[in-house]
Chains A and B, each alone.
Chain A
């Protein structure tokens, strides 16, 4: 404890963490403006948001899994070359020759599956809470785009091991693209870089998987979180509590049944 106290009094610590020794609520509120990590959060939330049943913390889980995928994915990138000649051998070598390679690959694989589950469950939870209603409509739309991006990230990553599972899953998945009306063959051609899954497909999926899609996802997550924070800071009481007459509530209920 003495050591921690000493560290907290050093000039370097104080230059990094802009907090007083003893934090009051006022200091804590101020931290939301002075700390980068804290500015993601609103200063206050309604107590209902603390309950597990409110969100099951599925949004947090999704974000943490994205972090786990980024860290494990960057490690795997050091040892992987996206070419049909090398890809499969690289995965084998990651599993046998690279320090913690098998474990990191497992983390990446299972985090990806769990992230699809977490994002989908997050969406369902938000629906049942009615949290897509004004003023949060557009944040729901961003959330749907984030779900689609998560699926695309998972799907593009599925090809990279270049084993039978990867090759044929992607062959099945992309065969549907050719049924897009009018632009079907063009869509498939752009996706695969040729008539069938080959070396061009592997490079395209790799670039999508490690650069374009994660960048898009990270960008949209920041907007998603920013809007969440802004909306949390409004006190959004249910409309029935605004002191309207019972008739008006009745009208709304019957209006839904049309």
Chain B
């Protein structure tokens, strides 16, 4: 060995010291330990993005977007259906005054969602310590999904009840 450091592939070894391994290699990593975003998160995001694009591609190759006959203000289709994401509101419209179903309920939902972090001041993150919040939100979610499904697939002419396997009236 000479005193001159050996240069290998543009890197030189300055020395080898005894002691503990570097922090990154030392232990079994826990959930709270941090890792570099590049490459760990980036590669996962890249795969997620590719999966999403693959789904879009396959669906678009298999199914054509709907195009009905040209708009005609004199011919009202029966049932008239709103887009599926407004189907729950349309279903409510069949049961409540339009002021309630069309204005107050959507206003309360958007307002309530925005206010959520300021209403729920419980700092706990573990599920067991936030039962009230979880139960309330889950009830809202289930009710909304059920109403959306009913309005989308279970309503036929004159907004009457139909079984989707008998008559299909859902529109995408």
Q: Which of A6-14, A170-178, A211-219 contacts B (4 or more CB under 8 A)?
A: A170-178
CB-defined interface of B17-53 with A at 8 Å, one 1/0 digit per residue? Answer: 0000000000001111111111111101100110011
CA distance A255 to B129 in the complex (A): 10
CA distance A25 to B25 in the complex (A): 13
| Interface size in chain B (residues, C-beta < 8 A) | 78
CA distance A144 to B86 in the complex (A): 16
Most buried by B among A64, A102, A123: A64
CA distance A228 to B34 in the complex (A): 16
CB of A172 within 8 A of CB of B80, answer yes
Cross-interface CB contact of A57 among B48, B117, B125, cutoff 8 Å: B48
User: Within 8 Å CB of A28, what residues of B?
Assistant: 36, 38-39
Q: A134-B123, A148-B110 are in contact. Are A168 and B67 (CB under 8 A)?
A: no
User: Within 8 Å CB of A95, what residues of B?
Assistant: 64, 67
- Count, A-B residue pairs, CB within 8 A: 231
**Nearest CB of B to A114, in Å:** 7
Judge whether A50 is part of the interface by a CB distance below 8 angstroms.
yes
What is the predominant secondary structure among interface residues of chain B facing chain A? Answer: helix
What is the predominant secondary structure among interface residues of chain A facing chain B? Answer: helix
CA distance A228 to B94 in the complex (A): 40
User: Within 8 Å CB of A110, what residues of B?
Assistant: 56, 59-60, 63, 65
**Nearest CB of B to A74, in Å:** 16
Measuring CB to CB, which residues of chain A are less than 8 angstroms from any residue of chain B? Answer: 23, 25, 28-29, 31-32, 38, 41-50, 57, 60-61, 64-65, 68, 84, 88, 91-92, 95, 102-103, 105-111, 113-114, 116, 118, 123-124, 127-130, 132-134, 136-138, 140-141, 144-145, 147-148, 151, 154-155, 158, 161-169, 171-173, 175-177, 179-181, 196-197, 235, 237-240, 249, 252-253, 255-257
Question: Could you list 30 examples of A-B contacts with CB < 8 Å?
Answer: A28-B39, A38-B38, A44-B37, A46-B31, A46-B32, A47-B35, A50-B40, A50-B44, A57-B44, A57-B48, A88-B71, A103-B60, A106-B64, A108-B65, A110-B60, A110-B65, A116-B85, A127-B116, A144-B110, A145-B114, A151-B85, A163-B68, A165-B67, A165-B68, A169-B81, A173-B83, A177-B102, A179-B102, A235-B34, A256-B129
